[in-house]
Every structure is written in structure tokens, then in C-alpha cells.
């Protein structure tokens, strides 16, 4: 037989495009359209429905950027259509290639009942089936004219990302507003031909199954009368029955389809628009569940559920009903799909506390899985947190975006810093927006790296990023793929059902130890410094507020601010979403974030002040409040008393220019350029700075990545560097313990204060940058005279090690990495730490000098200046605090990291304040002291071993405790954990390296 494959395949494409698809709606009549443009921000639904619109024609331009227009469409079903299926086809001016990234709408009935959402891939509204002739049609559309920020020429700077700069030019042209007859038989034929055509294209050219499908398709196309597609669709479908009913082979890969709509809580749209995106999507999905009995839809991010409840009660009622039916599934158990690299220990824990508690309170549902398909890499501390929250699975897809190395597993156990292992799955379909195309399903089968040992994978199915969700077309495709020869089998299932099956068939999968590093989007550790600084400071202010409020509540009866803390925590957690904290959202998002963090700081400082004043009482004793988990200056952790200061710092001129600072512990030399040329550990008689090199060196790089400007920094940025060595001023500080350095470069200016506190082994570097560069990357370098094959970075509830060498491509790819409060480097017997108050990105490199010594250079990432999606990223004044700690052990690094983030607070009062709880030894770090969330008055203490060694910890309460329980993060007793005996006011526990523990104390 002659090879006519290309002929038939080309025929299929043309007939589908030009004849069959257009015949889905064989008859149509225009609807009458009127529009009212809401002034300013979106209005309540009732106001939009009541507004008086003006007539408008199809083809009219509408929609200023970020505007809202209320369309009213009216008409009547023609008498000739009686008994037929009738739909409204409502095209607001969509580009079908941009679902979720442009205008959208939510359709309402006149009484305010939501019908469904409109988006580029979902433009229909069912009117009646069967219809009655003369039936009146009246619908209202709340249409959002969100501008296209990420266009066909991506990453070009645009002012559309902020309402204040976007202008008023209409963005869209009204395209189609019709009533139409929907021919389901033709629609089903379209799906038949699409599924078979796509499957055929994925099969080997010499496979008999491919040729069977080809011949069946050819016969079906013969059966279609191109002048009467609607009259011949059934005959054409009958030609495909045999090939569509051939069952899959027993060894076929098995795909669990989970209805999904990845909705970024903010990204190329502001938070307020996400509220509406969620309402549109959930309205669509609840309607689809009513129509499709096999369909299952999962939605993560408790915050988004809470938005629907608060802002769209009419949609919320449908959501609650659908959840009760078991097929609309709360997923993930987190407040938002957060970044997991940068959130601190407690914040990462609270993501699960608030997420899981919302789903438990609202639906009685507890999630077993963390659901993070789009997060930009995963910190090594996360497995322990997942387990401590009562979950046991993780799903993500994002590691497939890595550009250097291919991750070796799709199903595996992920081991964190403390040894906790979490059953983890990466969907081999390599997308969280699966549309059930044959190419996607075939890719999942070919790509699955655990063949032979397992054969289950998951496919998150539905349009995402900007929402939209699953469509009826996707469900129809999945129905044909349920058991089809040549394809994987597809079944709609909940995430929990998938994980149960996957774990049962693969009880001993391979293990991956340490962080799941994404070899892409590394610049998200630095972009939008103001957002990152707001997050870090909010986390530590929340720690203080809980600590002092709990202490005051127990000691003085101070009213514990349950509601305020709950609300503020949720706000901070929301802003840890994986496009807000990473700095990859539009200008509007970050402008609002900065304002929100400022407001939060004001509230929390007010709470802290009120609690501390209640504790201090009236008096003239100068008290220092220490919220850090370690004693300092004679003030115990979590207590207040007069501070004890020892030592002094001297400053003198340095021969050759510059200044010398000396406090008896460190001798610091700053040369005439304002660079750190010596940091001598006097006791160890050890120099910190590498010979011939200088620390406190600001370095400027050009920074134009190939793609994803705010997200990426590409390795070639290091090829060009400018050392900022020229100083406008180098002078001794007025306090007698510091050096002031001023530099200018480009159109920017830096002022630094290098301070050596008396009695302390740390050089504090305060940096103020008035930043006005574009597409530049600013680093702060410290070349250290240290030889080490690895260094430690703090992460949640511990630290982990990265190599300093680049032996393999895996190591070389980590040229920009994340730390929390410290990085630490050590030779046997001596080390050094660099701590920070608000930065995350850094790099470490090593070289061997001519003298045989090794220079290990740590560079801290301060600022970037990408132009997309925010063309004014980071412009303005920024302040950072870092400290170099020569001679530091890992314990010193932990302690100094806390110190720089929790400065002392001073009040006068009547007497010192004893800690509510003390813990020894210092290796055990308390991360939270609070009252239980249930309002019982119980005291909750969370702590972990922080040095990476076993510890025997003694915890002493400063209150009368009636009992103690070991709990999970949600403060529920752990059934398999034996409560430590309470001996008076003390308990003793043993901890593994980095082990996390939460104790709940009942009070007398």
C-alpha cells in the first residue's frame, strides 16, 4: 500500500479547521448589547447589575487598562430553534492563545446568580437544552479589561503593570455576542477527530495501530458531506467507533487527571483581580461538576477559598455544595502556594497551620499533600515541616524547568535536613496546565523516569496561571482516553487517591537528599528588595509580638491579640506567594506590598510596645528587652533587664590611609578606599581576609538575562564586573567605633557605616544605597582566607551544606543560592560567618592562590534592576545590615543571625522581666512562644536543634504548668509521641540533629 499518511493528516487538519469546527454552531443571531463602564475600582455585584448601560455595537473598542465594564446582553430564542440546544457565544475580544492573561468575565443572571466565567478558551453559556421558541435571554457580564503584560514579544518593558501608569486607551474590541444553536453531534465529532489525530501523530510510523487510526479517519472524512456537516456528523462518527473502542494494553501507563486551575495569587495582575479570577474559575468548575459526573476538581491556596467566601458569597454557596459532594477538593493545605526558599521557619510552618485549619474549619477536610506545582525550588527544611503539619506527600512540576540537569526521578522520597522523608511526585506531563492533548499524554509516558518500577503519574488538567480551569473539551478528551489502545489510560481522581495508589505500587522509591534546587529563576532571591525586606522584618516582628503578648498575658492578664495576630499572619503569608516574595510581579503588586508591610510594621510595633509596657510597669529602671533565642549583654532570651556592656572600641588612623578599629577581640583595617583589608581575630591570631584582597567590596555587573528578566540571572553575568573602589569619603564615625564610607557610581550613591561593637566579635556593615541603575546587579564581596569544600546556609529549622567547588554540572548550576540569616564557612578549628537582616541571594567561589592558600569568596546579592514586569524595579533608597563574624562556629553563626534580625528594645520600668520559657543549651533554638490558637490560654513553645548535632534540652517554664503535650504544628496532640515528664517547672527532651518539636503547656 502506498504511504499516504501526510495526505490524510493534511486533509484532517483542513477539514477540521474549515468545515467541522465551524459547524458546531450552525445557526446564530445577534444579541443586543449595552455597557456601563465602572469608574475606578470594581464595584459590588449589586451595583453593577443596577447600573444603566448604554447600547454598544459589536466591533466597539472597550476597556481601559484594569477597568471593569458591565455588559448586558438581551435577546430571544427564535421560534425555529424550539427543541434545540441553544448557547450564548460571548467573545469580549479574546485572543485564544492567552487564556488567563487578558480580559475575562463573570456572567450573572439578573437576580445576581452567577452562571459561569468567560475566558479565551471558554466563551459559551448554555441557555437551554431543549430551548423554547421565544424564550427571553438576559445576562450580565462583569468584564475585566486586564491588559496583556506578557505579550507575543515577551519581557519588553511596559507601563501597563500599574493602574497609575497604564493610561486609559481601550484594550479590546468586542468581537461576538450571539445566540447560537449548539450541535453536540458535530462537537463530539471534533473531539473524536482531535483525539485520534493527536494520538496517531505520537505513534511510531511503523506501528499497526497508527495505520488503523489513519484508515478510520480517512473513512470518517469520506463520510462527511462538506456542504452538510451537521447532517452527516453521526455517519462520520460511526466510522470511528471501532478504533475508539479498542482498549489500552494491560501495561499502559496510568494517568490520574486532576481538574486544576493554577491561579497565581498575584502576578501580572494585582491581588484584587485575583479575587475575581478565583470567582470566575470556581463558578465555571462548579457548573462543570454538575454536568460531568466523572470530573474531579482540586483547588489549593486557602486564601483563595477565603476570598470567595468573603467577596462572592453567591459563588461560595455553590463551592460549599460541591465540596460536600466530594469532587471539588481542597488541596495542598497551605495558605498560598508560597515560595519555599525564603520564608523563615515559623512562616513556613504557619503556611500549613492557617491553610489546613481553614479547610478543617470550613469543610472538615484534612490534606495529606503539599501542592506546589509552580514554586521556584524547595528548601531542604521543608520535608520536616510537611510532616509536622500532619501531611506526607508533595507534588510539584517546576523542577522540570531546570535548564542544566535533568532531575532523575518523577516519583521518589525527598529527605530533608533532619532525615524526614516525604513521598514526592513530579508529573511527567511537565505542565500544570495540561489540556489532555495527545502530545501531552504521550510526553508523560515517554518522559516518566520510573518505568518498570511504577506506572502511575498525575496530570493537573486545566488552564492556569491566570485561572480558567478545566473545560468541557478536556473532559471529553479524557473520556476517550480512559481506555484507548496506543495511549496511557486516563482517570479522574483526587490527589489523595493518586498518592495512595502511587505509594502502594512503589513503596521503596529512590531517595533524593537535600534541597530541590531549580536551575532557573535564581534572581528571584534578589529582585524587589523592598518586598523581601518587608517579609523578613514582618516575620521577626510577629515573633516579638507573640512572645511579648504571651508573656504579658500570663504575667499581667494582658489581652492576647488573637484576632490581630491571625489577620496579620495571613497577610504576611499571602505576600509569600511565589510571584510576590520572589519579586516577579507587576509594579502594582509590589507598590501595594511595600505599603502593606509598612502598615503591618506599625501595627506590630504597637502590639509589642503595649505588651512590653504592661510587663515593665511604671518605674525608672532602664530595661533592655531581648526577643532573640539567646542571651546577650546579660539579658536572657525572652526577658528584660538592664544590659551589661563590656569592653570598648578604639579607632585610629591607618598608615597609608584609612582607619583601624580595635575592641580587643578583632582588629579591623579599612583602607583609604573604604575597603576591608584586614579582619584579624586577635585571640586566634588568625586573619580573615585573603592576602592581597579586600572585603566590603561592592561589585556591579551588567544584568540582562536571555528571558524572564525579574526571575533570571544567567551565568554569563559574571563575565563582566566593575569593582567599586573609588570613594568620595572615608572618615571615622562620630561614635568612635565606626568608619563612614561614601561612594558614587552611575547615577547611584552608597553610604556605608562599618562598626565594631565593644565586646563583640563582629564587624557590622550598614549599607544605604540610593539606587538608580538599570539592568545591573549589585553584589557585596568578602574574600576569605579559608579552605573548605562546603559551606552552610541557614534554611527553615536548620542549615544545610553546599559545595564550594564545581566538579559537576549540578554544582556549577548553583551559581546563585539562597540563605536565610547566615552563611558559615569553616576549616577544622576556625570559621567565619556572614549574617544579614534582609537579603537572601548569594554566591560562593574559590580559587587557589600562588602561595598555595585558598581564597573562598562569599558575595551577598543586594540589588537588581530588571525592567520586566516592573520597569522601575528597586529604584530608590534601600538599607541593609550585614555582619562579618571572624572565628565563628556554627553556633555563633546561628546566634549572630538572630541578633542582627532582632535588635534590642529599650524601656524604663519597675523591675526586670523573667522569660516565660527558657531552654538550654544554646544549640536548641526557640522559634515561637505564643498562646494556643484555640483561645484556651495554653502556652505553645516551638523549638529545634540548630547546630546539626544531637541535643539533650532542658526547658524551664516561668509559669505554673499543669501538664504538657507534644503536638503537631496545628497544636494537636501527636498520638505516637510520648509527653516528656514535667518535673516541677522543668522538662527534658532529646532531639535529633535539626529535629523540630512543638510543646503545649496547660496552665494552673
* Three state DSSP letters for 381-401: CHHHHHHHCCCCEEECCHHHH
58: left (phi over 0), alpha (psi -120 to 50) or beta: beta
Query: Among 400, 497, 503, which Cα is nearest to 448's?
Result: 400
Number of H helices, E strands in the chain: 19, 52
Residue listed under C-alpha cell 489500552: 248
Find residue 878's DSSP bridge partners. Answer: 769
What does the alpha-carbon distance between residue 946 and residue 899 come to, in Å, rounded to a whole number?
Answer: 15
294: left (phi over 0), alpha (psi -120 to 50) or beta: alpha
Yes or no: say if 1001 and 930 are a contact pair by the CB < 8 Å rule: no
Q: How far is CA 185 from the centre of its chain?
A: 43
Q: Choosing from 162, 192, 264, 374, which is the catalytic residue?
A: 374
What does the alpha-carbon distance between residue 358 and residue 607 come to, in Å, rounded to a whole number?
Answer: 25
Query: Among 750, 736, 726, which Cα is nearest to 880's?
Result: 750
Beta strand 763-771 with 876-886 is antiparallel
Query: Which DSSP state fits 935?
Result: S
The 3-state DSSP class for residue 807 equals: coil
Yes or no: say if 944 and 959 are a contact pair by the CB < 8 Å rule: no
> DSSP string covering 118-144, please?
EBTTB-EEEEESS--TT-EEEEEEEEE
For residue 659, give every residue at least 6 positions away whose Cβ sits within 8 Å of its Cβ, in sequence order, or none. Answer: 651, 652, 653, 669, 670, 730, 732, 739
Yes or no: say if 569 and 326 are a contact pair by the CB < 8 Å rule: no
Which backbone phi and psi does 963 adopt, to 5 degrees? 175, 165
For residue 317, give every residue at least 6 positions away whose Cβ sits within 8 Å of its Cβ, in sequence order, or none. Answer: none
Q: How many CB atoms lie within 10 A of CB 920?
A: 13
Yes or no: say if 299 and 337 are a contact pair by the CB < 8 Å rule: no
**Coarse DSSP helix, strand, coil percentages of the chain, rounded to the nearest 5 percent:** 30, 30, 40
Three cell numbers, residue 283: 463558578
Three cell numbers, residue 1002: 496547660
Which backbone phi and psi does 105 adopt, to 5 degrees? -150, 155
The helix (run of H) or strand (run of E) holding residue 191 is: helix 184-202
What does the alpha-carbon distance between residue 955 and residue 998 come to, in Å, rounded to a whole number?
Answer: 12
What does the alpha-carbon distance between residue 918 and residue 403 come to, in Å, rounded to a whole number?
Answer: 47
**Is residue 374 annotated as part of the catalytic site, yes or no?**
yes
404-to-520, 714, 808 alpha-carbon distances in Å:
9, 12, 11
Count Cβ atoms within 10 A of the Cβ of residue 683 and give its class: 0-12 exposed, 13-18 middle, 19 or more buried.
exposed
Three cell numbers, residue 360: 478543617
- Positions marked active-site: 374
Amino acid at each position: 500500500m502506498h504511504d499516504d499518511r501526510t495526505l490524510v493528516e493534511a486533509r484532517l487538519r483542513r477539514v477540521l479547521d474549515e468545515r467541522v469546527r465551524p459547524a458546531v454552531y450552525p445557526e446564530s443571531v445577534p444579541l443586543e448589547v449595552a455597557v456601563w463602564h465602572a469608574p475606578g475600582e470594581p464595584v459590588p455585584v449589586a451595583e453593577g447589575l443596577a447600573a444603566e448601560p448604554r447600547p454598544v455595537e459589536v466591533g466597539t473598542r472597550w476597556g481601559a487598562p484594569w477597568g471593569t465594564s458591565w455588559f448586558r446582553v438581551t435577546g430571544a430564542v427564535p421560534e425555529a430553534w424550539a427543541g434545540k440546544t441553544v448557547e450564548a457565544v460571548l467573545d469580549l475580544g479574546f485572543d485564544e492563545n492567552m487564556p488567563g492573561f487578558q480580559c475575562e468575565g463573570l456572567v450573572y443572571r439578573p437576580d445576581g446568580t452567577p452562571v459561569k466565567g468567560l475566558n479565551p478558551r471558554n466563551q459559551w453559556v448554555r441557555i437551554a437544552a431543549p430551548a423554547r421558541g421565544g424564550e427571553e435571554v438576559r445576562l450580565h457580564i462583569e468584564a475585566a479589561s486586564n491588559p496583556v503584560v506578557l505579550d507575543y514579544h515577551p519581557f519588553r518593558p511596559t507601563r501597563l503593570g500599574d493602574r497609575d501608569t497604564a493610561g486609559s486607551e481601550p484594550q479590546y474590541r468586542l468581537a461576538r455576542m450571539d445566540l447560537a444553536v449548539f450541535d453536540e453531534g458535530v462537537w463530539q465529532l471534533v473531539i473524536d477527530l482531535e483525539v485520534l489525530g493527536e494520538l496517531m501523530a505520537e505513534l511510531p510510523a511503523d506501528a499497526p495501530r497508527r495505520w488503523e487510526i489513519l484508515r478510520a479517519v480517512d473513512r470518517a472524512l469520506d463520510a462527511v458531506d462538506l456542504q452538510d456537516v451537521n447532517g452527516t456528523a453521526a455517519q462520520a462518527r460511526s466510522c470511528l467507533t471501532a478504533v475508539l473502542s479498542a482498549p489500552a494494553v494491560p501495561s499502559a501507563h496510568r494517568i490520574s487527571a486532576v481538574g486544576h486551575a493554577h491561579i497565581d495569587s498575584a502576578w501580572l495582575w494585582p491581588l484584587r483581580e485575583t479575587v475575581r479570577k478565583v470567582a470566575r474559575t470556581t463558578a465555571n468548575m462548579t457548573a462543570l461538576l454538575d454536568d460531568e459526573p466523572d470530573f474531579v476538581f482540586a483547588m489549593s491556596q486557602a486564601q483563595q477559598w477565603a476570598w470567595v467566601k468573603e467577596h462572592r458569597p453567591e459563588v461560595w454557596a455553590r463551592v460549599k455544595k460541591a465540596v460536600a459532594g466530594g469532587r471539588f477538593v481542597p488541596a495542598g493545605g497551605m495558605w498560598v502556594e508560597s515560595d519555599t526558599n525564603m520564608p523563615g521557619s515559623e512562616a513556613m510552618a504557619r503556611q500549613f497551620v492557617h491553610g489546613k485549619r481553614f479547610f478543617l474549619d470550613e469543610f472538615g477536610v484534612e490534606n495529606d499533600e503539599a501542592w506546589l506545582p509552580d514554586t521556584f525550588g524547595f528548601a531542604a527544611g521543608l520535608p520536616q515541616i510537611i510532616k509536622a503539619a500532619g501531611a506526607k506527600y508533595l507534588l510539584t512540576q517546576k523542577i522540570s524547568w531546570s535548564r542544566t540537569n535533568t532531575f532523575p526521578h518523577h516519583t521518589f522520597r525527598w529527605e530533608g535536613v533532619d532525615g524526614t522523608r516525604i513521598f514526592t511526585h513530579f508529573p511527567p506531563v511537565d505542565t500544570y496546565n495540561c489540556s489532555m492533548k495527545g502530545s501531552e499524554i504521550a510526553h508523560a509516558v515517554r518522559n516518566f523516569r520510573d518505568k518498570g518500577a511504577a506506572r502511575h503519574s498525575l496530570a493537573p488538567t486545566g488552564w492556569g496561571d491566570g485561572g480558567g480551569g478545566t473545560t468541557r473539551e478536556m473532559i471529553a478528551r479524557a473520556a476517550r482516553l480512559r481506555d484507548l489502545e496506543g495511549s496511557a489510560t486516563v482517570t479522574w481522581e483526587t490527589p489523595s487517591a493518586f498518592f495512595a495508589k502511587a505509594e502502594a505500587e512503589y513503596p521503596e522509591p529512590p531517595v533524593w537528599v537535600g534541597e530541590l534546587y531549580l536551575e532557573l529563576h535564581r534572581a528571584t532571591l534578589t529582585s524587589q528588595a523592598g518586598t523581601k525586606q518587608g517579609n523578613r522584618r514582618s516575620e521577626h516582628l510577629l515573633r516579638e509580638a507573640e512572645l511579648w503578648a504571651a508573656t504579658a498575658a500570663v504575667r499581667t492578664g494582658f489581652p492576647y491579640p488573637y484576632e490581630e495576630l491571625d489577620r496579620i499572619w495571613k497577610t504576611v503569608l499571602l505576600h509569600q506567594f511565589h510571584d510576590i516574595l520572589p519579586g516577579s510581579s507587576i509594579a502594582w503588586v509590589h507598590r501595594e506590598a511595600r505599603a502593606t508591610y509598612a502598615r503591618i510594621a506599625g501595627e506590630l510595633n504597637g502590639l509589642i510596645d503595649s505588651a512590653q509596657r504592661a510587663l515593665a510597669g511604671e518605674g525608672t529602671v532602664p530595661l533592655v528587652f531581648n526577643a532573640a533565642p539567646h542571651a546577650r549583654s546579660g539579658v536572657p532570651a525572652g526577658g528584660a533587664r538592664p544590659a551589661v556592656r563590656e569592653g570598648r572600641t578604639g579607632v585610629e588612623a591607618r598608615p597609608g590611609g584609612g582607619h583601624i578599629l580595635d575592641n580587643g577581640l578583632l582588629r579591623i583595617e579599612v583602607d583609604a578606599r573604604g575597603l576591608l583589608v584586614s579582619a584579624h581575630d586577635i585571640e586566634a591570631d588568625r586573619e580573615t581576609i585573603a592576602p592581597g584582597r579586600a572585603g566590603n567590596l561592592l561589585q556591579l555587573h551588567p544584568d540582562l538575562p536571555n528571558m524572564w528578566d525579574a526571575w533570571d540571572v544567567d551565568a554569563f553575568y559574571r563575565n563582566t564586573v566593575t569593582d567599586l573602589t573609588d570613594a568620595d569619603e572615608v572618615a571615622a564615625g562620630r561614635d568612635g567605633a565606626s568608619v563612614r564610607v561614601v561612594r558614587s557610581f552611575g547615577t547611584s550613591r552608597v553610604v556605608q557605616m562599618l562598626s565594631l561593637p565593644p565586646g563583640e566579635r563582629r564587624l557590622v556593615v550598614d549599607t544605604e544605597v540610593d539606587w538608580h541603575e538599570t539592568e545591573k546587579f549589585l553584589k557585596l564581596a568578602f574574600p576569605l582566607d579559608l579552605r573548605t569544600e562546603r559551606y552552610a546556609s541557614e534554611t527553615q529549622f536548620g542549615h544545610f551544606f553546599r559545595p564550594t567547588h564545581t566538579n559537576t554540572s549540578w554544582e556549577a548550576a548553583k551559581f546563585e543560592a539562597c540563605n536565610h540569616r547566615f552563611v558559615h564557612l569553616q576549616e577544622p578549628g576556625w570559621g567565619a560567618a556572614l549574617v544579614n537582616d534582609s537579603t537572601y541571594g548569594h554566591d560562593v567561589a574559590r580559587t587557589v592562590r600562588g602561595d598555595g592558600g585558598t581564597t573562598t569568596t562569599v558575595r551577598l546579592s543586594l540589588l537588581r534592576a530588571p525592567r520586566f514586569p516592573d520597569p522601575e524595579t528597586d529604584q530608590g533608597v534601600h538599607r541593609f545590615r550585614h555582619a562579618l563574624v571572624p572565628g565563628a562556629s556554627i553556633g555563633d553563626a546561628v546566634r549572630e543571625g538572630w541578633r542582627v534580625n532582632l535588635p534590642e528594645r529599650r524601656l524604663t520600668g519597675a523591675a526586670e522581666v523573667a522569660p516565660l520559657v527558657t531552654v538550654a543549651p544554646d544549640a536548641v533554638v526557640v522559634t515561637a512562644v505564643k498562646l494556643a490558637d484555640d483561645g484556651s490560654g495554653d502556652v505553645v513553645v516551638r523549638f529545634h536543634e540548630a547546630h546539626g548535632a544531637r541535643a539533650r534540652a532542658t526547658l524551664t517554664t516561668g509559669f505554673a504548668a499543669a501538664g504538657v503535650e507534644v503536638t503537631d504544628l496545628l497544636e494537636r496532640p501527636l498520638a505516637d509521641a510520648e509527653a516528656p515528664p514535667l518535673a516541677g517547672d522543668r522538662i527534658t527532651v532529646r532531639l535529633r540533629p535539626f529535629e523540630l518539636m512543638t510543646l503545649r503547656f496547660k496552665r494552673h
